[in-house]
Amino acid sequence: MSAIVITGGKPLSGSVRVQGAKNSALPILAASVLNAGQSVVGNCPDLSDVDSSIRILRHLGCAAERAGDTVTVNASGMNRFDIPESLMREMRSSVVFLGAILSRAGEAVMSYPGGCDIGPRPIDLHLSALRQMGAEICEEGGFLRCKVKEFTGCGIHLPLPSVGATENIMLAAARARGTTRIFNAAREPEIADLQNYLNAAGGRVSGAGSSTIDVEGVPELRGTEHRVIPDRIVTATLLSAAAAAGGEVTLTDACPLDASAVISVLTDAGCEITARGTELRASRRGTLRAMGRVRTMPHPGFPTDAQALVMAAACRADGVTVFSEKIFQNRYQHAMELLRMGADIQIEGEVAVVRGVPKLYGARVCSTDLRGGAALAVAALAAEGETELSGLEHIDRGYEKFEAMLAALGADIKRV
Ligand code: UD1
């Protein structure tokens, strides 16, 4: 079993490029089955979750190849509509294939999706929306058997702005009869990226980024080229690392606007963060201050995916930071591992109270989920001595060349 060994305690310094966004690449790869042409998806990060999507596409009969950071999908040969359980369990995002496969093939068979263990992750909103659009869905023994003659546009009110459900509806609606209007849609930047891909393919989607999205169905989509947006959570990871360890880092190919909620919290804590175009410079020379209250919210609020990362920095800050996790029920598992490193954290339900300590110490810790694992690495960079971090399969789901990325900032890190 491999592990990452980090010797912490020294400030970071250097420049690194931010990878393309995992959470954009996955729905866009699913969307590529909506047309029978060729989709060329650039800035596609090299991750195990993207590999899982490629394997799903190949299973469906599509050609899917990676060359450098570009994944090319030719969906002309698609001849299946099922996804094997083993592939469904590899990641949560496999569920966005549902709307796309149903739209293209009129049928879909798959099991419930897997993914990080951060609390219950139901898909009731996805299924309810697809039913409202005309799908017949039979849920039996952990499997979904779905059919649709033709999706029909309608008004869909989401009780909460689910990212995945918004994406599934957009995929089902792109070639539906009539117009679909999504009320209380998710406003994450990845939704706008999916809209841009669909429109480049001949779709008629508008409103992404706001809470009302209109999708006017078109009879056909065509192959297209698209470049995935920068990953705002990887950006948050690197900024949190600079906040925790100190020093000065430069991030290139970033989207500062998409990371603004995290930038604002870290700036209040005493980091100096400046944006110029797609470049971000972050430094922390003095003491890191506690962050007051950090409450996770749907975008443009503070992202739940950055909670663990910023918490790792808060462990070393001067004062008390109170986190409220509003999106997922079980997203503090990393805190138990941070305690091994000397952190002072108390958890009561959705609230975590972090009292900054003068020193963290290297320890043997284990990733419990993707962002929680990265957060342990952030803490390790700020800790005295050596940390051995296992459970790397979680980190590899979302970070491309994780150690190389941190080594480019001068971190003493190696995979053993
Ligand atoms: C996406 C992101 C994930 C991020 C999350 C919230 C991808 C691949 N993943 O996940 O990194 O942490 O958004 O920003 O883009 N819910 C229901 N019923 C549903 C669907 C969701 O109750 O049918 C609830 C969930 O349990 C959760 C909340 O809605 O409490 C938000 O989930 P959602 O926005 O759907 O997250 P994902 O799309 O799974």
Q: pLDDT by residue (tens digit) across 257-307?
A: 999 999 999 999 999 999 999 999 999 989 999 999 999 999 999 999 999
Confidence band for 119, pLDDT divided at 50, 70 and 90: low
Please work out whether the CB of residue 164 comes within 6 Å of at least one atom of ligand 1. yes
Residue 192, φ and ψ in degrees, nearest 5: -65, -35
Residue 166: count of CB within 10 angstroms of its CB: 29
Q: Are 133 and 152 in contact (CB under 8 A)?
A: yes
Q: What is the dihedral of CA 170, 174, 178, 180, to 10 degrees?
A: 10
Nearest atom within ligand 1 for CA of residue 303: 14
Q: Is 312 in the pocket of ligand 1 (CB under 6 A)?
A: no
Percent of the chain past pLDDT 70, that is, above it, reads 98
For residue 223, give both structure tokens. 């192959």
The pair of structure tokens assigned to 17 is 């490029």
Distance of alpha carbon 143 from alpha carbon 43, whole angstroms: 33
The pLDDT of residue 122: 87
Between the CA of 269 and the centroid of ligand 1 the distance, in Å, is 28
Name residue, tokens 């879909």.
108
Q: How confident is the model at residue 199 (pLDDT cuts 50, 70, 90)?
A: very high
Pairing of strands 344-348, 70-74: unpaired
pLDDT at 4 > cutoff 80: yes
| Mean of pLDDT over the chain | 96
In sequence order, what E strands does 68-113 have? 70-74, 107-111
pLDDT at residue 92, rounded to an integer: 77
Examine the pLDDT at 116 and tell me if it is beyond 80.
no
Give Cα 274 to chain centroid, integer Å.
24
Q: Which pair of tokens denotes residue 240?
A: 């949190």
Residues recognised as catalytic = 116
**pLDDT confidence tier of residue 118, bands split at 50, 70 and 90:** low
62 closest CA partner among 95, 107, 30: 30
Q: Is the pLDDT of residue 1 over 70?
A: yes
Name which of 400, 397, 379, 396 is nearest 388 in CA terms.
379
How many C-alpha atoms does 238 have within 13 Å on its Cβ side?
37
Residue for token pair 């175009």: 277
**Per-residue burial over 267-278, b = 16 or more CB atoms within 10 Å of its CB, e = otherwise:** bebbbebebeee
For residue 249, give the amino acid letter. V
Instruction: Spell out the residues 6+ positions from residue 140 whose beta carbon is closer than 8 angstroms to its own.
Output: none
Question: Per the structure block, which two tokens stand in for 125?
Answer: 């909103």
- The 10 Å Cβ neighbour count of residue 371 is 28
CA of 122 to the centre of ligand 1 (A): 9
Mutate to test the pocket of ligand 1, among 144, 157, 163 (most ligand atoms within 8 A of CB): 163
Question: Mean of the pLDDT values across residues 119-130?
Answer: 89
Please name the residue that has the structure tokens 């369990």.
89
Evaluate if residue 63 carries a pLDDT over 80: yes
Q: Is the CB of 160 under 6 A from ligand 1?
A: yes
Tell me whether residue 20 is exposed, middle or buried, using C-beta atoms within 10 angstroms of its C-beta: 0 to 12, 13 to 18, 19 or more: buried
- As a 3-state breakdown, the chain gives helix, strand, coil percent values, each rounded to 5, of 35, 30, 35
In this prediction, residue 115 carries a pLDDT of 56
Please report, in angstroms and rounded to a whole number, the separation of the first and last CA atoms in the chain: 9
Q: For the segment 306-316, what is each residue's pLDDT rounded down to a tens digit? A: 999 999 999 99
* Residue-level pLDDT at 90: 82
More confident residue, 233 or 117: 233
pLDDT exceeds cutoff 90 at 236: yes
> Is 380 touching ligand 1 by the criterion CB < 6 Å?
no
Among protein residues, the one whose CA lies closest to atom 4 of ligand 1 = 305
Place 117 in a pLDDT band, splitting at 50, 70 and 90. low
**What is the CA(161)–ligand 1 centre distance, in A?**
8
Alpha carbon distance 26, 22 (integer Å): 6
Tokens 């606007």 -> residue: 257
Does the predicted TM-score (pTM) go above 0.85? yes
Catalogue the E-assigned strands of 195-317.
Answer: 204-206, 212-216, 224-227, 247-252, 272-276, 279-284, 292-295
